[in-house]
Structure 1
Amino acid sequence: MTGRRRLYWQVGITLAVLVAAVGMLASHRATLDSGTDQLAAADGEWLLLACLAAMATWVCAAVAQQGAVAERLPRGRLVAAQFAACAANHLLPAGAGATVVNLRFLTRCGLSTRRSATALAVKAAVGGIVRCVLGVALLVTSPGTVRLSARVPHVLLLLPVAVGVVVLAVAVSGRLRRAAGRAFADVRDVHRVRARACALWGGSVAFALLHAGVVVAVVHALGLALPTGRVVMAYLVASGAAALLPTPGGLGSLDAALALALTAAGVPGQTAISAVLGYRLLTGWLPMAPGLLVLGLLVRRSAL
């Protein structure tokens, strides 16, 4: 009953966010139409480069997933599973689609449910760490990439507080302490082999940079010579903000956050919408149908 209630809450939140997103788009229909026209007249070579970067993200996701487990996974089916997970991720809230597909795939490869869930958690944690490190590295190497407001230091102070709360909860709860101990044991096993650690971290870094590269290429295709670091920072900030809202594939949340971040980075409003549409087209909408076909094929062959 609890699981069903949680599902109802997730679906309700998802529908609320989607309705809000549709309402926002309807109120800015003229701007949306102009953005679509700009995207239709964009540079084809830059769009091709963006398409190749989007396709490479599935390979990087497969490399990172292989690095998160000790067992050797079948390469072809692993890449196909990431492609199918990308499509499923746009149908269920809060990344649940990708989690379900990958969890099923790992258990079919012989891993226990606990170890499969731990591997997915390790991959997700490394992905979040990588995005934070990339953002900090951009701020350090290019201080002019973003304009920090006076509130940013106060916001940054909340990070150690949040970490402290999590550590305290783990220390107090015996069940959480045992789960954390098993997770740390699996993490140590992964990092004992250098090749696995390189695959996990390298694949996660490449995955984040390639997604940012899709946005960079789309922005250039629209004829804007914006500094690459500024666009990458806009994507990192937007993807981090979108993770807080449980919408399918970040639909609505990532779109709004990315449009706002690009506008703050110096992209005109209509062009920012065009860039978001191009990013969505290449990473979500175009791969949707073939991804679902691959998903059905994997299920039929008992790979999921």
Structure 2
Amino acid sequence: MTSPAGLATGAGRRRAYGHTAVCLAVLTCAAYLTRRHWPLLETGALRLAVADQGWLLVGATAAVGTWAASALAQQGAVIRPLPGGRLVAAQFAACAANHVLPAGLGAGAVNLRFLMRCGLPPGRSASALAVKATAGVLVRAALIAALAPFCPGLLRVPHVPPAVLVAALAAVVLVAGLLASPLWPRCRAALATVLADIRAVHARPHRAAALWGGSLGFAALHSLVLIAVTRAVALPLPPARVALLYLAASSAAALLPTPGGLGSLDAALGLALTASGAPAAVAASAVLGYRLLTVWLPLVPGLVVLGMLIRRKAL
């Protein structure tokens, strides 16, 4: 007879295999599209090479600010004070790890381990990550709702194919089955822990301000990176429109579990910019510039910081 621990291990392996399969499928599609559109990407890279260096510096500064904003939001999700320097370093390392493992698993694992090293129990650490993630989703939704009236007609309700409706119905049936399964008491207990942590955070105004301010700053600074890159490559789109396109594209790309949105975010941003009237080559330059500042340049230093934190037993 299989033990509960064995069942949990098997389920974890199946989920990991599923995530890996989806990730490989998306990356294969991204590689195919890259090969097919290589001349366009090459033109975009050449345009980026002669872009305005001042605006690229603004974008790089905003990219650095995202790590501080992420650290502020994480501190806001935790009642206990966290060591500030190590917290920012952990966010930098988590950003690099997030581009190695699929579906945000890298950043989640780094932050979970960091919070546990700071003395939080595993359950409370996971709950703090859930509080931070929930605040991030709500902030993005609020920003999209605030920017949409200034860009009328930009966001349209897409046609929903029957396959999506079938998938949604299957998800509803799955949730209903979960509610009727023996696992529901455990899920309810975890949800109660998260809600208790949310109430505890909002009982302290400075923690609530850090949570929501950091979440807002994180989304706004990422939008600013893309705005600065579009200015650097002379893409004539208003900043509010670029910010709305980024928020919508990144929210859509989050549905595909690739490392750091690799492939999914690039395609979503490129399609959003071209659909908004940008020439294909200039849109490719903007996407490449955004990825250069937020992924490729910080990747190796971030992995180095990750290794240092592990050696110093901060993770």
TM-score interval (norm. to shorter): over 0.9
Q: Is 2:223–2:246's contact at 8 Å kept on the other side of the alignment?
A: yes
Q: Quick check: 1:133 aligned with 2:139?
A: no
Give 1:16 deviation, angstroms: 1.1
Q: Which runs of 5+ in 2 are unaligned?
A: 1-9
For this pair of structures, how many residues does the alignment match? 298
Q: Does 1:86 align with 2:95?
A: yes
Q: Distance in 2 between matches of 1:59 and 1:129?
A: 19
The answer to whether structure 1 residue 142 and structure 2 residue 150 are counterparts is yes
Does the C-alpha gap of structure 1 residues 246 and 200 become closer, same or farther in structure 2, counting only changes over 3 Å?
same
In the alignment, does 2:257 pair up with 1:249? no
CA separation of 1:169 and 1:61: change in aligned 2, threshold 3 A = farther
Distance 2:79 2:45 in 1: 46
- Aligned equivalent of 2:291: 280
SS in 2 for 1:244: coil
Cα distance in 2 between the residues matched to 1:224 and 1:107:
45
* CA 1:44–1:73: 2 relative to 1, 3 Å: same
2:152 counterpart SS class: helix
1:196-227 Cα distance to aligned partner (Å, 9 max, x none): 00000010001001001100000000012311
* Aligned twin of 1:68: 77
- Listed one character per residue, the Cα deviations across residues 237-285 of structure 1 (whole Å, up to 9, x for unaligned) are 1111111000001000100011111112221111111111001000000
Question: Where in structure 1 are there 5+ consecutive unaligned residues?
Answer: none
CA apart distance, 1:163: 11
Is 1:102 paired with 2:128? no
Structure 1 residues 110-121: aligned runs within 5 Å: 110-121=119-130
Task: Give the corresponding residue for 1:235.
Answer: 246
Indicate which of 195, 198, 204 corresponds to 2:209: 198
Match for residue 32 of structure 2 among 4, 23, 42: 23
C-alpha distance in 1 between matches for 2:177 and 2:274: 39
Rounded to whole Å, the distance in 1 between the matches of 2:144 and 2:30 is 27
Give 1:175 shift. Answer: 2.5
- Give me the CA root mean square deviation: 2.3
Distance in 1 separating the partners of 2:35 and 2:141: 34
CA distance in 2: counterparts of 1:169 and 1:8, whole angstroms: 23
Q: Among residues 4, 8, 20, which one is paired with 2:17 in the alignment?
A: 8
Number of the residue aligned with 1:189: 200
Q: CA deviation at 1:149?
A: 4.8
In 2: Cα distance, 1:166 partner to 1:54 partner = 39
Moved more, 278-287 or 174-183: 174-183
Q: Does 1:295 align with 2:306?
A: yes
Note closer, same or farther for the CA distance 1:36–1:17 as it changes in structure 2 (3 Å cut): same
Counterpart for residue 216 of structure 1: 227
Query: CA–CA distance in 2 between the matches of 1:192 and 1:175?
Result: 26
How far apart are 1:147 and its partner, in Å?
5.0
Task: State the secondary structure of the residue aligned to 1:144.
Answer: coil
**Correspondence for 1:176:** 187
1:269 corresponds to: 280
Q: Which residue of 1 aligns with 2:51?
A: 42
C-alpha distance 170-197 of structure 1, shift in aligned 2 (>3 A): farther
- In the alignment, the residues of structure 2 paired with residue 138 and residue 215 of structure 1 have an alpha-carbon distance, to the nearest angstrom, of 16
TM (normalized to structure 2)?
0.89
Distance 1:96 1:283, change over 3 A: same
Mapped contact 1:145–1:230 kept (Cα < 8 A): no
